Amino acid sequence: MKTHLKLFLNIILFILLWSTLDYSQNFQQLIRFPFQDSAKVNYCQSQPLILGNEILIFFSANKSPQDTILFTRSSDNGQNWSVPFYVASLERESDEMLFISGAISSTGRLLIVFSIGETPVNNKTKIVRTDDNGFTWSEPQNVIGTAYIPYPKITQTTDGKLWIVGRNNYFFYSTDDGNTWLSKNLGFSTSAMTAFDLVSFDSLNYIMTYDKYDSSIDKYKIYSRKSTDSGNSWSSETVITETESSEKLPRLLKESSGVLWLVSQQRVSTPFSPVYNIYQQNISYRKSTDNGITWNTSNSFTNYLGFDGAHNIFNYNDKPLITFLSDRWYGKNQIWIGQIEVSQDIDNPPVLYGMNNSNITVGIPISIRAFVASTTGIQNTELLYEKNNISYGPYPMFDDGNHDDGVAGDNIWGISIGPFNYYDVINTSIIVTDNNSLTINFAGIKLNLPPVPIINNWLSAGSLHNWYSSIGSEVEEGFFPSQQYGLQWNAIAPYQDIQASKGLWIGATNFTDQNGDFFPYKVVHTGPRVSGSGQFFPTEFKMKSKFVPSIVFVNGNISKDKNITIDEIDPNLFADRFIINRVNTQLGVTMTRKIFQFSQSYNDNYIISEYTFKNTGNVDGDSLIELPNTTLEGLYFYYMFRNAVCANVRNVIGNATSWGINSMLDTRGDGVMNDPPGEDFRAQYMWHGKLPSFTMYDNIGGPIWYPALNVDPEDTVGRLGASQFAGVVTLHADVSAENNSDDLSQPKTTSWEGSDEPLTTNNDPYDIPKMTQEYTSWITRGHKSPRHAYAVEPSGLPGFLQPTNDPALGTPGGFTFTNGYGPYTLAPGDSVTIVFAEAVSGISRELATSTGIQYKQGQINALQKNTIVFQSRDSLFQTFRNAIENYQSDYQIPQPPKPALTFNVSSDSIHVTLSWTIDELSPPENFRVYRSSGRRYNTPILIAELPSTSRSFVDTILQAGTDYYYYLSCVSPYQQGGPATPPGRLESSRFYTQTYNPVNVSVGTSVNDDHNIINAYSLSQNYPNPFNPSTSIIFTIPVRSNVNLSVYNVLGQKVSTLINNDLEQGKYSINFSGNELASGIYFYILNIKDRYFEVKKMLLLK
């Protein structure tokens, strides 16, 4: 109905126009096309046509991403124009040009061909046609196949053929009035972005013109070729333009007398050309009276000092009627109309050729320069700018050589403005006044101050270490260029990284942004693979610490594992470390993220994140509120966790494990299944599952049998390198903005999604189709059934322990578990809070090693091994319970003592001396000194328990050549227990005072030294080492113990059991003979059941 009504109104309008035609006058002066918004720039190319006695102008509405081609009619030489008529719709980016050409065939059919953009892309050249004088148009369709024609020109030759020219190597022609098109090979090649035109003298003789860029002289030249066989073959090329001239975009017209016109865009030098490459562009023309054999010299049609170009022409009373783009008066790319040799270019306003600025740096003034000119000279130039909707200026600019403006009198005008802050957007404008006091206000440049730099920082006071980012989520490779980085447990050992990526998406429905654009679904993203820049705007990121960080020295040098930044000390914190992170988002939601870490030993393997989402209406990084009255509906907060246990085995089991291709994911509290008693929490968790491509042995738990990158040699005895379980447990989610009690139905979405699915990449807050899919398919999915682990192994636990199927389910990247909280409605000022804990736990390293050795030696089978691995799940579940209890107690868990302020470890040839300082106002009950031998992560042995008055200790029971690592704990009095904490004495975390650099001595303590009190287990380096054929292995035990001392080769095969029985307290020296063994590296392991485990290597050289 609407289409018929539009057609009816167009017909009535056409009749009214036709009845008032006046064809008597040509154009006397240039006319600015009326259907333009002077505030807009970058209008596209237009096309004039003459239909009967009317002028038709085809143009675009200059809108993106959905643009429209329109046309208008004039019967009085452009003095008055009809309401624009619709021609076609097209998709166009704001920075893409539209190139357009039109023709009227001998049958009266109007044909319009257009190309979008200057980059060759399939399906970007279209044609439309009309047989009723423009009242109805065909749908746009490709000319031929998916061919792209950069600067299309449509024309008709004398023989009745329609031609579309403009594509290198090929023209296209039609013999059926443009219904179908065929290609014609030109037989020569120019360049991909050449502009062509074509006219005919008769049915056989054609002439074409085209431009080519010559990089050697930095000029465009126009050439011609001729055909005497209707375009089937072409002559060699002839240059038309003069040597010194640079011209492009040739357009041909043939008068009824046979005179040829060639109209082009000519580049003219300015005083700025040599240094700044700034040129004037004008419309010029030349004629030929001998069918293009010779041409007269070029004449200027326009004389404006700025830009005139991108023209099209049509024959009007035997002279070219021209439309072109000009930046005169209004800035850039406005459409103008005239007639060559008729219209006078009488106005020549001042011109702003361009602007530039110095480097944009927060806190430093910015120099701005304007390049201006006028035929009468410049009187003055001024600058205005707008920041946060507040105008500043105008400020006078200077051409005196003292304001970063070149030299005095060169018409480069300069000024410095600022300084400015992060996120500031400065819109400038330039006011130019010439010596006739003619003033033009030009839109200037936009200065985008950078966002607050992304800051990353570690929480590393407990046994679980993870990094956090100021952008609001920890995106893939957002801190370090490795897909497996962060979420390290137990972090005392290297390569324990489990985190591959995280993501936070916030989605809403029926959202209208500050520009008035409507989105049925709007989603802003940070992660898993998009940085969040331009969608999330961090405004605050700092870390507080309860204690001044301990400073640890080893032989005079600071010893530490990670670089961290502490911004503030707050002794009243309930957590050891606390990160506060505030981020505005494009939705107008401001997120405040508080991240808490505890070092208390029963609660140090989880990290709690508390998110408060408030509708502030602030959609960017500045303080201006853009959406003060917007109520947000359908809000979901969607978290994505991609984990992979763990980096230690990625080069053992397979590199694909580093991105979680074999990760098994399971859920609790989603209602999909009935969970076992005691597991009534809301959680998702994962473990290292079966990798089908790995067939050497059962890989559950990540047994290490062979040397590999990131694997210590002694680990090849079979240690389980990936026995951890990791997960997230929900602690709280508000019911609504009005009700902050815990909504036990949250998260509403618990799902598992393909980690390499298209929705995980290129997430764009303006891509409505993709955001619709994100919101409807993932964010609001609900509780996915079955759970991932059961989709892989339907039998459940029996299948988990003896897996047969692929956790990736045939996908290339495995799966990510997701939690979606919502939907919420937030009126202005409303907020909701969501709290969860990330946790990792597992069996001890000692149990992982002994179990792995047994499995490699065939003493236990895969099922028995995996049953032990699944004790890690029990440990993780207990960690979840501890986190819940801690949160529900308002973080009132018992606190360990304050750690030492400094810890200094130094060694000489015989002894290691330890000294420390503390806050004397809060001394502990006493101190404990721990030592590890060989590697820092080997079992730490308590070597001394000292009174609170002690400030030093000398370690004398040492073996020459052995590396030693220490830490000092401060010990509390006996405490009665509390939330998530049993009764007993608490110690400060080893991570405050742990040494990461070894010390050693060159002369060891004698084994027969009866004056040394044996108060710890120890295993010394064998001596001699290397050895041949025998060596001594020394160890100490402080109490009667069951001792196993065995030797293994590099394949993890046991070659000798030296001791396997009970021994009394004392020091022992055991001789080991390698007579029957080959040269090479061997490992000896001291295993005191449930008490001590240590591995050392020795070298047999024969």
> Which tokens in the block code for residue 311?
């023209």
For residues 307 and 717, give the distance between their C-alpha atoms in angstroms, rounded to a whole number: 77
Identify which of 101, 105, 111 has the alpha carbon closest to the alpha carbon of residue 48: 101
Q: Which residue's entry shows tokens 């911004």?
A: 567
Of the pLDDT bands very low, low, confident and very high (cuts 50, 70, 90), residue 13 is very low
> By three-state DSSP, how is residue 696 classified?
coil
| Whole-number pLDDT of residue 23 | 39
Which class for 185: exposed (0-12), middle (13-18), buried (19 or more C-beta within 10 A)? exposed
On the question of a cis peptide bond just before residue 538, with omega within 30 degrees of 0, the verdict is: no
For residues 718 and 711, give the distance between their C-alpha atoms in angstroms, rounded to a whole number: 11
Specify the DSSP class assigned to residue 775.
Answer: I
| Whole-number pLDDT of residue 796 | 97
| Whole-number pLDDT of residue 39 | 65
| Whole-number pLDDT of residue 190 | 87
Of the pLDDT bands very low, low, confident and very high (cuts 50, 70, 90), residue 9 is very low
409: left (phi over 0), alpha (psi -120 to 50) or beta: left
For residues 614 and 532, give the distance between their C-alpha atoms in angstroms, rounded to a whole number: 18
Summarize the chain as % helix, strand, coil (round to 5).
10, 40, 50
> Which tokens in the block code for residue 712?
């210590």
* pLDDT of 355 higher than 70: yes
pTM of the model: 0.74
Q: What is the mean pLDDT of the chain?
A: 92
Residue 196 phi, psi (nearest 5): -115, 160
> Which tokens in the block code for residue 819?
């939690």
Evaluate whether 483 touches 490 at the Cβ level (below 8 Å): no
Percent of the chain surpassing pLDDT 90: 80
| Whole-number pLDDT of residue 331 | 74
Evaluate whether 163 touches 181 at the Cβ level (below 8 Å): no
> Which tokens in the block code for residue 522?
């709007």
For residues 28 and 78, give the distance between their C-alpha atoms in angstroms, rounded to a whole number: 10
For residues 718 and 686, give the distance between their C-alpha atoms in angstroms, rounded to a whole number: 22
Query: Which residues have C-beta within 8 Å of that of residue 1038, sequence separation ≥ 6?
Result: 1014, 1015, 1016, 1017, 1065
| Whole-number pLDDT of residue 336 | 93
pLDDT digits (tens, 9 = 90+) for 782-839: 999 999 999 999 999 999 999 999 999 999 999 999 999 999 999 999 999 999 999 9
By DSSP bridging, strand 831-841 and strand 518-526 are unpaired
Domains of the chain: 2-339 (2.120.10.10), 351-448 (2.60.40.10), 456-550+561-888 (no CATH), 894-1005 (2.60.40.10), 1007-1102 (2.60.40.2550)
User: 17-26, 216-225, 444-453, 535-544: which range is least confident on average?
Assistant: 17-26
> Which tokens in the block code for residue 414?
């300069």
Q: How many other β-carbons are positioned within 10 Å of the β-carbon of residue 1055?
A: 16
pLDDT digits (tens, 9 = 90+) for 594-642: 999 999 999 999 999 999 999 999 999 988 999 999 999 999 999 999 9
For residues 127 and 102, give the distance between their C-alpha atoms in angstroms, rounded to a whole number: 10
Evaluate whether 69 touches 45 at the Cβ level (below 8 Å): no
* pLDDT of 332 higher than 90: no
Evaluate whether 295 touches 288 at the Cβ level (below 8 Å): yes
For residues 600 and 987, give the distance between their C-alpha atoms in angstroms, rounded to a whole number: 7
Q: How many other β-carbons are positioned within 10 Å of the β-carbon of residue 563?
A: 8
Evaluate whether 866 touches 852 at the Cβ level (below 8 Å): no
By DSSP bridging, strand 31-32 and strand 47-51 are unpaired
